[in-house]
Amino acid sequence: MPVPKKIPLRKCAATGEMKPKKEMIRIVRSKEGEVSVDPTGKKSGRGTYVTKSKEAVEAAKKKNVLARQLSAEIPPSIYNELLDIIAKDKN
């Protein structure tokens, strides 16, 4: 009997829900303080996750939760990039 593969869970910064890593998008802050979207989940630096939904991204923006989690200024382009990724994933 094969052992079921463990699915890595991550907590959404905006909603606080635990979800499989594949359903999340990682936002990362590098040592230089540069914030970027990390669709691969492999960039080095301080990372936080947001659920791949428009609602979660908008909640994160409204609550300014990413700036607090990453202790960095989050440019509006990051939120736009997240929304673009979510829109592409739905198609």
- Domains present along the chain, CATH in parentheses: 9-90 (3.30.1230.10)
What would the two tokens of residue 59 be? Answer: 């909640």
Residue 62's nearest CA partner among 8, 7, 14, 1 is 14
0.75 exceeded by the pTM? yes
- Distance between CA atoms of 90 and 70, rounded to whole angstroms? 27
Confidence of residue 22 (pLDDT cuts 50, 70, 90): very high
* 36-81 pLDDT per residue, tens: 999 888 999 999 999 999 999 999 999 999 999 999 999 999 999 9
Confidence of residue 91 (pLDDT cuts 50, 70, 90): low
**28, pLDDT greater than 90:** yes
